[in-house]
Chain A
Amino acid sequence: MAMPTEATGASWDVRAAEDSDQLHARLSGGGPAREAAAVELHALLLKAARFEVGRRRGSLPHLRGDDRESLAQQSADDALMAVLAKLDQFRGESRFTTWAYKFALLEAGVKVRRRAWHGHEIPIEDEAWERLADAGAAVDQDVERRELIAALRTEIERSLSSRQREVLIAVALNDVPIDVLAERLGTTRGALYKTLHDARKKLRRALAERGLGLDADRIEGGR
């Protein structure tokens, strides 16, 4: 049995790290060894994708077992394509298998979220205002918090562009998964998060100008 490494603790062993390195080396080579390595990698990615789909099965109560397996297979296939296409971007900062697993988990997570929202409308603004009103009622004995929540609604309507308002309301207030919104709007998670980030920054500034007592690092937070 392989010994644990000092650097990574008892659950990580040298043999697994070596196997991971060898897998990367075989994938980077050519011929039959590369093809065999790709099959091996696909099996690992499928294990990760099944894990993720299984973890999130509660969000897909209507999906049968073979549909979940199909989702995991599609995720592993797409992850394999992504890993092989980006192989030269692996910098060795983690085990190769850890680096590869994240692609399978991402693919499966996105697919599950999109499937769970399939056929559902994105909640409208009114639902967000109701949630804010409920939040205001919950803190009605805390004057500062109550004022903050009231001002938040005003500034969402006044300070944000229509796109920023749409993204902030959907993702931050109505809990719409950002991948789902990205698909509906024909854009990417990263682009939408940038919009959300800019909207939050505008709101923090606008609220600070009203003297609503937010911490300085919250107001200045940025990328």
Chain B
Amino acid sequence: MSRRRDEIEAERLLARALGPRGPELSCEQCFEALDRYVELELADADAAAAVPGMKAHLEGCPACDEDYRSLLAFLDREG
């Protein structure tokens, strides 16, 4: 692995250990708001402002982030 990739991996590890910036939703709150959040994103609206704490939670929770990416990808494909 190149030195640059090692440094990126080190930063990723630190970010995962120390968590996201700012207040964040819980997993339950994230799931509750996920459909609205994704539709706002697909409509090019300011989803992060409409659902405070969602973006931080998605940065901190890999499982919820996967659910978010899946819904986004599915709706994007289905139209």
A: residues with CB less than 8 A from B are: 7-9, 11-12, 48, 51-52, 55, 93-95, 98-99, 101-102, 105-106, 109, 113, 131-132, 134-139, 145, 148-149, 152, 156, 168, 171-173, 175, 177-179, 189-190, 193-194, 196-197, 200-201, 203-204, 207, 214-215, 217-218, 221-223
Residues of A within 8 A of B60 (CB): 193, 196-197, 200
* Total residues of chain B contacting the partner, CB 8 A: 46
> Contact: B18 with A189, CB < 8 Å?
no
> Contact: A102 with B67, CB < 8 Å?
yes
Q: Which chain B residue shows the least CB distance to A13?
A: B79
8 Å CB contact of A101 from B21, B43, B71, B79: B71
- The answer for the CA separation of A4 and B29 in the assembled complex, in Å, is 30
> Contact: B61 with A178, CB < 8 Å?
yes
Extra 8 A-B pairs, beta carbons < 8 Å, given A12-B42, A52-B70, A171-B16: A48-B74, A51-B74, A101-B71, A173-B17, A214-B18, A218-B18, A221-B20, A222-B24
Determine chain B's interface SS by DSSP, over half rule: helix
The total of interchain contacts (Cβ-Cβ below 8 angstroms) comes to: 147
Q: Which chain A residue shows the least CB distance to B6?
A: A138
> Contact: B44 with A9, CB < 8 Å?
yes
Q: Which chain A residue shows the least CB distance to B36?
A: A93
8 Å CB contact of B18 from A98, A109, A175, A200: A200
Determine chain A's interface SS by DSSP, over half rule: helix
B: residues with CB less than 8 A from A are: 3, 6-7, 9-10, 13-14, 16-28, 31, 34-36, 38-39, 42-44, 53, 56, 60-64, 66-67, 70-71, 73-77, 79
> Contact: A178 with B77, CB < 8 Å?
no
Q: Which chain A residue shows the least CB distance to B22?
A: A221
> Contact: B71 with A95, CB < 8 Å?
no
